[in-house]
Amino acid sequence: MSKSGVTSPIGFRAAGVACGIKKNGQKDLALIVSDTPAAAAGVFTTNAVKGHSLKWSMEKIKSGKARAVVINSGCANACVGPAGDADAAHMASYAASLIGCEPCEVMLGSTGVIGYRLDMDKIKAGIDNAYSSLSEDGGSLAAQAIMTTDTFSKETSKTISIGGKTVTIGGMAKGSGMIHPNMATMISVITTDADITAEMLDKALRSACSKSFNRISVDGDTSVCDKVIILAGGMAENPPIISEGPDYDIFLSTLTEVSQTLAKMLARDGEGATKLIEIRANNCATSKDAHLILNAVAKSPLVKTAIFGNDANWGRIFTAAGYSGANFDPDKTDIYIGDLLVCKNGVAVPFDEEEALKILKEKEVIITLDFKDGKVFDRIWTCDLSYDYVKINGSYRS
């Protein structure tokens, strides 16, 4: 074991334990604690239906500070009425009493099945157990404890220099189904030892999310419990980042990189996925058009099954762009599979099927649409749709 993910930065300890919420006995409770009162920011689901633990965090993070994050998997603590709000408050105050902070400084996350109450005895025993096993090497255990249908745990970190000081940003994420802009059934916690104000942290997180977590799609469903939370403890002792400028730019680009690495891991681990698909919209007239097109193509089950089947069926890609609601000129549109031009100015181009097959058999496939209509570039990451998606989701709740 070594420092990784959320415990990569100085001043963070974490734990991941099994408390019995998951029926299979696997880890289901993660605790991350900052040694110092940290600046905090969050981005939350846009779903009209919101989980109780999520609502707690949305409300409390407005203060811009936090000491800890508690996340359970196996039960979403959603749609159970006022009792769910009480359970969330209880969970936060129980953790706060151990850590020695205010309940409002404890952010919460719950992910799993909707419509069932949390077993608070198990949760409390889990928090006890996690608290006593907090460690600077605990990042990877925490990352394991937040998994639901994930097939691998997801964490990353990156170190930079700001004002002569070494600054680290680390993060973990979970989620594989229901991932779609904005914020699907994913939870990510990012930590940093950077010294940065809550205001600038919030600004950086929103910008990073718009290029990472809000640019992935697995099945187009967005969940009621999705969130990204960032805590900045300040132990790196860099000159405080209090406004835009070169230091902020470095921090933002690193945060974006960390977020993109995690986001791509989520797309790659899409339920039943066999490959990562990157869809690019080049030379769009407007950001809105690019967004509509990328979403439609990334969500299309016909596109996703074709790529699963290694079928260079660009007609489905073009069709999805066509019904996206975006304004573009079909007669000016080019489509590429990898580097292979398959459609020029809206018309089929004869291409080497063997070459296409080779590109499609790779673990990462890039699809590019060029609209020759402006200067906007955007992209989205998604995955293919396989038999296993159906298998996983046809029997999840039971």
The residues annotated with a catalytic role in the active site are 185
CB 203 → its own copies: shortest distance, Å?
25
Q: Hey, which residues between 64 and 103 contact its own copies (CB under 8 A)? A: 76, 78-81
Query: Under rule CB under 8 A, which residues in 377-396 are in contact with its own copies?
Result: 385-387, 389-391, 393-396
3-state secondary structure of 346: coil
Q: Does residue 23 interact with its own copies by CB under 8 A? A: no
User: Is residue 348 a contact point for its own copies (CB under 8 A)?
Assistant: yes
Query: Binding its own copies by CB under 8 A: which of 23, 363, 375, 397?
Result: 397
Report if residue 2 touches its own copies, rule: CB under 8 A. Answer: no
Q: How far apart are CA 171 and CA 158, in angstroms?
A: 9
| Distance between CA atoms of residues 299 and 36, nearest Å | 42
Asked whether position 360 contacts its own copies by CB under 8 A, the answer is no
Nearest alpha carbon to residue 232 among 81, 3, 1, 10: 10
Q: Confirm or reject binding of residue 363 to its own copies (CB under 8 A).
A: no
Q: How far is the CB of 312 from its own copies (least distance, A)?
A: 8
Comparing CB distances to its own copies, the nearer of 3 and 299 is 299
Nearest of 104, 262, 83 to residue 170 by alpha carbon: 262
Interface residue with its own copies among 127, 169, 326, 369 (CB under 8 A) is 326
Render 30-82 in DSSP notation, one character per residue: EEEEEEEEEEEEEEE---SS--HHHHHHHHHGGGSEEEEEEEEEEE---SSTH
Give the nearer residue to its own copies in terms of CB position, either 47 or 282: 47
Q: How far is the CB of 91 from its own copies (least distance, A)?
A: 19
Q: What b/e string do you get for 111-139 counting C-beta neighbours within 10 Å, with b at 16 or more? A: bbebebebbeebbbebbeebbeebebebb
| One residue of 44, 131, 308, 336 binding its own copies per CB under 8 A | 308
Shortest Å, Cβ 282 to its own copies: 17
- Tell me: does residue 47 bind its own copies (CB under 8 A): yes
1 interacts with its own copies by CB under 8 A: no
Total residues contacting its own copies (rule CB under 8 A)? 65
Query: Could you tell me which residues come within 8 angstroms of residue 66 by beta carbon, excluding any fewer than 6 positions away?
Result: 34, 37, 38, 40, 60, 105, 106, 107, 229, 231
Does 46 interact with its own copies (rule: CB under 8 A)?
A: yes
Binding characters for its own copies, 327-346, by CB under 8 A (x = yes): xx-x------------x-xx
Q: Is 115 in the site for its own copies (CB under 8 A)?
A: yes
Dmax (CA) for the chain in angstroms is: 68
315 binds its own copies (CB under 8 A): yes
Whose Cβ is closer to its own copies: residue 18's or residue 183's?
A: 183
End-to-end CA distance of the chain: 34
- Exposure class string for 159-196: b at 16+ Cβ within 10 A, else e: ebebeeeebbbbbbbbbbbbbbbbbbbbbbbbbbbbbb
* Whether the Cβ atoms of residue 335 and residue 369 lie closer than 8 Å to each other: yes
- Contact set for its own copies, span 177-216 (CB under 8 A): 177-178
Residues in the chain: 398
The helices-and-strands tally (H runs, E runs) of the chain is: 11, 15
> What number of other Cβ atoms are within 10 A of residue 59's Cβ?
11
Binding site for its own copies (CB under 8 A): 45-50, 76, 78-81, 113-116, 177-178, 219-224, 299-302, 305-306, 308-309, 311-316, 318-324, 326-328, 330, 343, 345-348, 385-387, 389-391, 393-398
